[in-house]
A and B are shown apart, each in its own frame.
Chain A
């Protein structure tokens, strides 16, 4: 393992992560000493429209996977419409491979709370919710503590910092459903229903929580806001690329020497990230990887130099997603990896639409058959045909995402499938697990 070259080290841009080294940054006293709530004091003196314009100028795009321009989203909220407005933070982190929001909320919860207050002021919301994944209990402990501290200090509640602006913030724990990361399913869940996606349009910007104008943003998006308010749009744009501005937390996991969180300007390549992470583990050679979680099509060693920004990854036929790069080596089987992801999508499908509910159920069974050495060539056609019937025909992105590992692994690693089918690879599952597969 060698030390990364200086020009690659220079690509690190610790912004959102920088307080994590201060062990008490989750306490309001420490946070305030580290620039904390300075952005709020500054923002609350500005006109809300100027804040929306600032976020537009910064080029900030959603950090939850879709990359929608944040300022534009805020601007969609109709003003002066006589309805209550809501800000909802999507903290339901669960995309396989993604692990950036939990450490942020655990080690620097106030940065999220401060971002919530500024964003709510900008969109004129007097109620905000953080919908946090149920399993994220320690992050929720710290977050609830931060909210209570912020109330005690007058950053939340009535007449914040004497500005006349009121805000109530509730931390709402989910109960274990990946689908609630989809924004309309999240809203249904927050209203006390099963978490199932809604038909769009109307979009949450006009008919969101309680059928009122609502902004739903990811944790990383909202936590970026205080930094943009402090440092300005031009500073933010000095990091990243022209269309994908700013820093991003890349979550590296798998067969590398030092898995972890690496915050860099958007547009860094996997080759550079692996160098930062100390290289591959000894004896492992890169075989396949996800650029942004399991819902983004797999890439291979050919794509080491693809710039990891929204445009670069799209040009390579995948999606930037949540920048969760899961790195697999030649000792990992892409067929088995895809099977495990499909078990996940099958388990998490909400059941609302037929293509996703049935398609994932049956694809899991086809994979079990292939992996127990009883697959046929026709199974590969069945898989692609099923994907055709899910992609674009399912109600929300969960179904679309499920097809990503299937079609991409078949595209790059068809031989691995054929090796199971033609008996060159030993079966990985026993045929006990085959009930109902035929």
Chain B
């Protein structure tokens, strides 16, 4: 069993610190990317590591790891080649690209070449249909591929080369990529700047530029209407002739409703008449924006009031509420006997 490095443990602590203190389970997806970064796949040891640092059991972690396509369950190569075979890329030639690569490499879907270099998979829509057919290497795009270029690409990878993606950053290994997926910045000098926009992304924009077309009437100084004139001064706007008549004058909201009525209508948009707020609800009636202290206190109070997620249940699923409902059902005589109810409760 692999023992995870101190660096990985430090990183795990950094990941957990991104989420609210009693919601550490939110860190599970990035943590699974993190253990994949060290081992190239999510091994039993990786599952155990995530369970240990989050205080979960291994079954809970395993259930999550096995749900998501990007967590690999067997060792992977340095280069994950994903060929889009969803409908658009497929009809444009993606299927031939995949079939050719599978034959050339002698592997099928989710399998790794004997030299341990390349893992092949067919992927569902990679959100680059205007560049189709596409494939990705460690999730960076190679656009408009055909069987020949794809074979050339994997041969170069297996020979130790690093071909340049069409629009993304220079390639890194799958393990290095998993560190980024865990939420850490790409440390490589210049990698964030790599890649230029592809022509398809810019087509409409270029047409508009060539013909001098722009969205008409845009005036960045258009004031924001205040619902409560006088409460708060409208943002100062420099006196400036507006290019069109579309700029709205700074007047109170047209309906002249009190904020309570408008808030009630907002919450019950279908109600014919305004509904008063529930007792104890505070509606801010003055114009003061909430202060940061209030927000912080609200967050703490709310976090304390909401139970953290328990075994296999999303937050808010309260086991006590279930029991309470069961007791009520029994006492009101609707229950068909406690044994059945317990069975339903699992």
Contact = CB atoms under 8 A, between A and B. Distances in A.
Contacts of B128: 99, 102
Contacts of B305: 82-83
A96 B200 contact: no
B168 A126 contact: no
Contacts of A43: 224
Contact of B125 (A94, A138, A187, A277): A94
B265 to A, nearest CB: 9
Contacts of A277: 203
A141 B206 contact: no
A229 interface: yes
Given A53-B225, A210-B315, 15 more contacts: A14-B208, A45-B235, A78-B281, A83-B302, A135-B126, A137-B181, A141-B169, A173-B30, A193-B309, A231-B222, A232-B222, A235-B247, A238-B217, A332-B91, A344-B125
B9 interface: no
Interface size bracket, B side: 35 or more
B316 A20 contact: no
Interface in B260-283: 263, 266-267, 269, 281-283
A332 B186 CA distance: 41
A21 B70 CA distance: 32
Contacts of B82: 135
Interface of A: 4, 6, 9-10, 12-15, 17-18, 20-21, 23, 26, 35, 38-39, 42-43, 45-51, 53-54, 57, 72, 75-76, 78-84, 93-99, 101-103, 106-107, 124, 126-127, 133-138, 140-142, 144-145, 148, 158-159, 163-166, 170-178, 187-195, 198, 207, 210-212, 227, 229-235, 238-239, 247, 250-254, 258-264, 276-277, 294, 324, 326, 328, 332, 336-337, 340-341, 344, 347-348, 350
Contact of B218 (A54, A142, A231): A231
Nearest to A24: B193
Nearest to A326: B88
Contacts of B92: 254
Interface of B: 18-20, 23, 25-30, 32-33, 54, 63-64, 67-71, 82, 85-88, 90-92, 123-132, 136, 138-141, 167-169, 177, 180-183, 185-186, 191-192, 194-197, 199-209, 211, 213-228, 231-232, 235, 246-248, 253, 259, 263, 266-267, 269, 281-284, 287, 289-292, 295-296, 298-299, 301-303, 305-306, 309, 312, 314-316
Contact of B213 (A9, A82, A140): A9
A96 B86 contact: yes
> DSSP class of B's interface residues: helix, strand, loop or mixed?
loop
A169 to B, nearest CB: 10
Given A174-B29, A188-B314, A326-B88, A97 B125 contact: yes
A99 B203 contact: no
Contacts of B191: 141
Contacts of B167: 106, 138
11 contacts: A15-B215, A20-B197, A23-B197, A83-B301, A106-B197, A134-B139, A136-B127, A138-B141, A141-B191, A210-B306, A232-B248
Nearest to A337: B87
Contact of A47 (B28, B127, B227, B309): B227
Contact of A259 (B197, B200, B216): B200
B213 A159 contact: no
Which one of A46, A127, A174, A239 has the highest number of Cβ atoms from chain B below 10 Å of its Cβ?
A: A46
Contacts of A45: 235
Given A46-B224, A166-B292, A211 B214 contact: no
Contacts of B219: 231-232, 235
